[in-house]
Amino acid sequence: MLKKIGFYFKTSLLLTLASIFMVSCTKSPKESNLSNTGHPCLILTEQGVKNIKANLGNIPIFDTTLAEVKAEIDIEIENGIQVPIPKDYSGGYTHERHKKNFFVMQKAGVLFQILEEEAYAKYVRDMLFEYAKMYPTLPIHPKPRSYARGKLFWQCLNDSNWLVYTSQAYDCIYDYLTEAERLTLETDLFRPFADFISKENPKFFNRVHNHSTWGNAAVGMIALAMDDDSLLQRALYGYKEGKIDPNLKDDDGGYINRDGKMGFLANLYEPFSPDGYFTEGPYYQRYASYPFLIFAQALQNKRPDLKIFNYKDSVLIKSVSALINLSNVNGDFFLLNDAQKGMSYYSSSLVSAVDIAYHFGGNNRELLSVAEKQGKVALDDAGLAVALGIKEGKSKPFNKRSIELSDGPEGNQGAVGVIRSGDLELVYKYTAHGLSHGHFDKLSYALFDQGDEVVQDYGLARYVNIEQKGGGNYLKENKTWAKQTVAHNTIVQNETSHFQGKYDIGSKHHSKKYIFSCNDENLQVASAKDNNAYPGTQLQRTIVTIKDEDYDNPFVLDIMRATSKTSNQYDLPFYYLGQIMQTNFEYSKLESPEVLGKNNGYQHLYKEAMAKADGANVKLNWLLNNKFYTYTAITSKGDDIIFGRIGANDPDYNLRNEPTLTLRKENTKDALFVSTIESHGTYSPVSEFALNAYSNVKTIEVTHNSMKYSGVKIEMTNGKQKLFFISNENNEVNKEHTLSSEDIKYIWKGPYTFINLN
Amino acid sequence: MLKKIGFYFKTSLLLTLASIFMVSCTKSPKESNLSNTGHPCLILTEQGVKNIKANLGNIPIFDTTLAEVKAEIDIEIENGIQVPIPKDYSGGYTHERHKKNFFVMQKAGVLFQILEEEAYAKYVRDMLFEYAKMYPTLPIHPKPRSYARGKLFWQCLNDSNWLVYTSQAYDCIYDYLTEAERLTLETDLFRPFADFISKENPKFFNRVHNHSTWGNAAVGMIALAMDDDSLLQRALYGYKEGKIDPNLKDDDGGYINRDGKMGFLANLYEPFSPDGYFTEGPYYQRYASYPFLIFAQALQNKRPDLKIFNYKDSVLIKSVSALINLSNVNGDFFLLNDAQKGMSYYSSSLVSAVDIAYHFGGNNRELLSVAEKQGKVALDDAGLAVALGIKEGKSKPFNKRSIELSDGPEGNQGAVGVIRSGDLELVYKYTAHGLSHGHFDKLSYALFDQGDEVVQDYGLARYVNIEQKGGGNYLKENKTWAKQTVAHNTIVQNETSHFQGKYDIGSKHHSKKYIFSCNDENLQVASAKDNNAYPGTQLQRTIVTIKDEDYDNPFVLDIMRATSKTSNQYDLPFYYLGQIMQTNFEYSKLESPEVLGKNNGYQHLYKEAMAKADGANVKLNWLLNNKFYTYTAITSKGDDIIFGRIGANDPDYNLRNEPTLTLRKENTKDALFVSTIESHGTYSPVSEFALNAYSNVKTIEVTHNSMKYSGVKIEMTNGKQKLFFISNENNEVNKEHTLSSEDIKYIWKGPYTFINLN
């Protein structure tokens, strides 16, 4: 049966899409391209299964993965089927069981295709019939916390997870089932299930949001498995009848659907920039990448004419490389917006993502080395391609370089800049807000050294799936602490967060790229501006890494500039991790810590010690993981230096008690915070030998500061002097600048210059 | 020339020695055994060098080490010789340079012997002549902090280090030098050097102390190299003319030399127990093991008739195995007394120790596997033996089991008990005080899980050789915090430390072994008593590990019993490491932390939160390194539960801000603290899956508590019940006990019984 699919473009956005998405728009709306090539057709194809069988035993990484999965599923089959009446939150038994069931069914389905052992098909069928028996009688899930409660789980999001995986299982055993069995499953389970998460939950389904992506993919995958054209349209374009009041806001204060955008294609267009950056950040991209890529794979297999992987200049393929570039040397993702530490490209969703990007994205050999590190592959056509590529020795190291990734659907809403220099990886954030998971952290950064986070981004305040911590869900401290500006390494004006900490204001704005120049590995510069975080105040931060032949490691120069119409208090927190070794100034510790402030995150900080700057450089020397670091900062006489610690007003020990050093300027219109950060030495607790325990920076000073230019001089302990000038108003590469500073005339071309004075 | 050596036994101790030390006592005091077998004769022998040369290129671990050392020394030779006028503390240039010089000379000497390249000999000779030129004019080192200031370094200890290594270098190039050169070096440098650290510093040299061990070995090594009998006698028996006032005390309040014991043999006899446990603990044994073993090796080579390795029933050989047994699964030493975290058997002094113990101690094949892990060998006869052993495939895993190591010269001053069960390693300390580096921590323990310290011993308050932290020396917080009882996982009575925190009292006493029974790997029991820490109060702690087939990991049962004539406040701190997940009781956090007490270490603790026990079990569930742990403790109604954190009154951030949970009983004569500690689950930040996040212990209760017996019942969450009884007064293995408890009569044989009730 040839079904028909139509493409309607109702909004200007979708008109834009039309020009990018290479669909066959000349066809009439009633014409369809749903092919009828039989099953499996989602992640496996008939030809793919043949190829896999032909290669089995000769594709080591595939064979190993297959053996592991088989061992796991054989135990599950032996343990028997459990389909309990839903009642728990995540972490609880019924939640974890249903979650396990969909993973297990997907794997059992794949095993049936590859190994042709009926036991796997029977297991899937029997479990599906348990669900088909239960589903028609199921009420809404009893746990009330979600805005869109599911039936199997407490939220539709998890129900959608279930359907994305289970569709694949159904596809794998489709031909094993009788027509009557298929009719029962589709009638009692799949169609009502798809309707429930779409028609009955438009606030969940009809939105641009990672939740909707899962919902769209779920409906789309089962549509493809069932060959249902109208369901597929719903998946791709949303449930048109489910209109949402454009003024409706969600818990975060953002509009649920202001402009009517919905469906998988809108969800694919909106959050990804042309560079493949996902606006919520890598942690959520990792989560969303599975439905994006698995549904895309299924579409490519079943509807190759849609050329989904070409969509928006191959954004899905780009997004996988972008995501890998947003991981540190160990593969752990940088923490941008809500993100839990330790998430990495070893996540199983990234195994599929990497394999799919390789198979459908032009066989990028660098992806093979990531797959090798992952040590497993997807058990499908894409995984086979990767396994063969590795076997044939095509793997090449994934070469992570400094990179700027634009944000926003059109790539014009700021960016994230990653500077890599020696063992340092610096992540500088000047993006858009990042939807509901965004933090109020304009122009913040974090610094890694050989994969260790040295100047940290706190991440989220949540222990994901650890039930004893608030059911494993977001903790209230995520809003009162983790999202607030003071929880980040960026400037806070008058103890208020950027955009007053309001999502609906923050989501209207983005920072602006100014410079990203990383071709010279000895001098890499990223600079960005933000004029909206505090109306009336202009912020510009310039981060430079300098590699000097006299020293083993590069160091960081940070210039944070604020100019305002009004006098303000400016705080610049510095979230170093480790133990203080020494400062070059006297400080007084309080007898007991005091709470630093009343709100906007300040209520979660203790003040432990204080010092008044005398106008000289301040130095903080500390030790982390047997490496010595020094922060050197220019101060003005009278600046406050505050030693703080996270953990105040934290009745349940939800926060980590980690330190910070904050520089505070009071009653200031224009402020220039300048500092260097060095990783200069090492300690061995075995030989007890301290190597280069002291900073190599003797002094830093501001030599020039005007609206047009800023200049900083750095003198090293070996006597060498360096000068850095930046134009604050013109970033043209060919613009010539002339500046007189300290009786010397400097002339250079481009937005900055760096001079070794001796 | 045949020189003579005599053996005088002046004290009853030395009479005891005589019967153990198999020397040729029949010889007259004037007769000598100094052989005249030529050079080298200390760590290398003429035959040994021949053997090494014959095997070079065919002994991988030796060849690799040789290549590394050669590369290192070639660079040093190229850099040239620097022998600066001494002026710095450790961490400073002159200190570090002289320290480097002796390491480099020793290695260059060895390279000359093995490779026969004159450049190495010349380099050693030239450097020695620089020293010989400078030494006669050198005043006492200008830095005043030591009780025994050196000349090259701020303390005689480091001067002795220099001589121990340099003697080896001298021995290696002895035959390369002319007789005139040797005369100059011996006259201007070595003899005055040896005299200075002995004759001129009897408080340093004539003592039983690790400092003296270095001094004795230094004088002894140069004596052997120079064939000087009278110097050797001074090394072995002390500088007889340098009498020390028996009432003289050192900075720690201990007597410097109360009983006239001195010299290398006394230093070897006193601190080692018959099991090879070194009373200061593994951290200082590691430091002392080099002079002990390297001098013993030299004695064995030059004076085999002394049979130094047979001394005290081969205690030196035993001490190496004991030390390895006192390391965790990663090779890091357990923290007993002053000890810095991270010190391990990868320390270079342990490379020599392991090789020497293998070569001279009967070729224990388990030591080869340690050498393999170390990845290098000593470049001498012992290292050759190890390299050959490894090459011949003789290596066997070093099988660390549960072990009790007695303390005290005669082995009757308590012990340290190590229980190993599954991935857990529990170190229980019921030793003597441990000389001047001892802590006031009777019956304390620490717990490791797969090498991670979970319930910690704080260790020392020092950053060894990190100059910016108090010159790298002991910080004042070592005395005010790290040594105090409250810094440990043991009972504190009335907020005072054991023995009033006085070294001269503590050093008179030791705890008593009671039970150490570890043959049943499912039930291991260690119990000990202390009646001296608090006069009038009797302490007994019993630690049990229980492995239950229903659960993956064993768990710990801890029974701490105090019985007193008077009413007291008892605190039992619990230094868990990690983040609190959940408690089963309500607690109130203070708005700001408050200092917990006034002195004895309490001034360094903050009180963060409080709860009053209602008499039920309290549970603390926490997460460390992605593992879930639970502490379950029996309480009495009204007990205080105090959440604390280290770091109060710490003006220089010398302390680590780590947590503790303290149970406090007030106005109590007899107290029984009973708790379990479980490692029951894991978390993956990649899959975000929490496995077995909750405790398997439902309840624990005291079923019996009398002077004669204690009994504890444990109910697991699966309903199974277990009962543990211990006899508090009789630890005979064959004694039969009858006890009625809860209407049931229990009869068993031996000091404890364990019953599965269902």
Q: What is the 3-state secondary structure (H, E, C) of B185-218?
A: HHHHHHHHHHHHHHCCCHHHHCCCCHHHHHHHHH
Inter-chain contact A472–B580, Cβ cutoff 8 Å? no
Per-residue three-class SS string for B499-557: HHHCHHHHCCCECEEEEEECCCCCEEEEEEEECCCCCCEEEEEEEEEECCCCCCCCEEE
Task: Extract the residue ranges of chain A whose pLDDT is less than 70.
Answer: 1-37, 251-254
DSSP annotation of B587 reads -
Residue (of A308, A273, A276, A274) closest to A293 by Cα position? A308
Q: How many residues does chain A have?
A: 758
The pLDDT of residue B754: 97
Task: Extract the residue ranges of chain B whose pLDDT is less than 50.
Answer: 1-33, 36
Measure B190 CA to nearest chain A CA, in Å: 27
Task: Sort out which chain B residues have CB atoms less than 8 A from A687's CB and list them.
Answer: 347-348
Q: Within a 10 A sphere around the Cβ of A567, how many other Cβ atoms?
A: 11
Burial class (CB in 10 A: 0-12, 13-18, 19+), B46: middle
Pick the catalytic residue from B135, B170, B284, B606: B284
Task: Sort out which chain B residues have CB atoms less than 8 A from A689's CB and list them.
Answer: 465
The pLDDT of residue A253: 65
Retrieve residue B454's tokens.
């979970």
Inter-chain contact A592–B606, Cβ cutoff 8 Å? yes
Is residue A35 within 8 Å of A302, Cβ to Cβ? yes
Residue of B nearest to A343 (CA): B686
Residue (of A426, A422, A701) closest to A559 by Cα position? A701
pTM (predicted TM-score): 0.92
Inter-chain contact B465–A690, Cβ cutoff 8 Å? yes
Measure A186 CA to nearest chain B CA, in Å: 31
Q: Cβ neighbours of residue B749 under 8 Å, at least 6 residues apart?
A: B733, B734, B735, B736, B737
Residue of B nearest to A96 (CA): B689
Is residue A562 within 8 Å of A493, Cβ to Cβ? yes
Report the C-alpha gap between A167 and A183 in whole angstroms.
15
Task: Sort out which chain A residues have CB atoms less than 8 A from B595's CB and list them.
Answer: 591-592
Inter-chain contact B653–A347, Cβ cutoff 8 Å? no
Inter-chain contact B464–A656, Cβ cutoff 8 Å? no
Task: Sort out which chain A residues have CB atoms less than 8 A from B681's CB and list them.
Answer: none
Q: Which helix (H) or strand (E) holds B74?
A: helix B60-79
The pLDDT of residue A258: 78
Measure B642 CA to nearest chain A CA, in Å: 14
Retrieve residue A433's tokens.
């807000």
Report the C-alpha gap between B58 and A553 in whole angstroms.
38
Residue (of A59, A64, A49, A60) closest to A115 by Cα position? A49
Inter-chain contact A466–B650, Cβ cutoff 8 Å? no
The pLDDT of residue B721: 97
The pLDDT of residue A26: 36
Closest Cβ–Cβ partner in A347, A623, A686 for B347: A686
Is residue B647 within 8 Å of B607, Cβ to Cβ? no
**ipTM rounded to 2 decimals:** 0.92
Closest Cβ–Cβ partner in B465, B621, B651 for A688: B465
A interface mutation test: which of B592, B608, B641 has the most A CBs within 10 A?
A: B592
For chain B, the helix, strand and coil percentages under 3-state DSSP, each to the nearest 5: 35, 25, 40
Closest Cβ–Cβ partner in A469, A579, A690 for B91: A690
Task: Sort out which chain A residues have CB atoms less than 8 A from B463's CB and list them.
Answer: 581, 623
Alpha helix (H) ranges present in A499-542? 503-506
The pLDDT of residue B180: 98
Region of B243 (left: φ > 0; alpha: ψ -120 to 50; beta: rest) is beta
Pairing of strands B605-612, B588-595: antiparallel
**Catalytic residue list contains B488:** no
Q: Cβ neighbours of residue A490 under 8 Å, at least 6 residues apart?
A: A441, A442, A443, A444, A445, A541, A560, A572, A573
Measure B683 CA to nearest chain A CA, in Å: 8
Is residue B697 within 8 Å of B678, Cβ to Cβ? yes
Measure A358 CA to nearest chain B CA, in Å: 22
The pLDDT of residue A584: 98
Measure A589 CA to nearest chain B CA, in Å: 6
Question: Omega before A192 cis (within 30°)?
Answer: no
Q: Please, what is the end-to-end C-alpha distance for chain A in angstroms?
A: 79
Residue (of A83, A554, A342, A604) closest to B689 by Cα position? A342
Residue (of B166, B214, B205) closest to B186 by Cα position? B166
Retrieve residue B116's tokens.
């026969």
**Catalytic residue list contains B311:** no
A interface mutation test: which of B157, B605, B626, B686 has the most A CBs within 10 A?
A: B686
Q: Cβ neighbours of residue B177 under 8 Å, at least 6 residues apart?
A: B125, B185
Pairing of strands B671-684, B627-633: antiparallel
Residue A447: phi and psi, rounded to 5, are -130, 130
Residue of A nearest to B343 (CA): A686
Residue of A nearest to B620 (CA): A468
Q: Residue written as tokens 């129900």?
A: A159
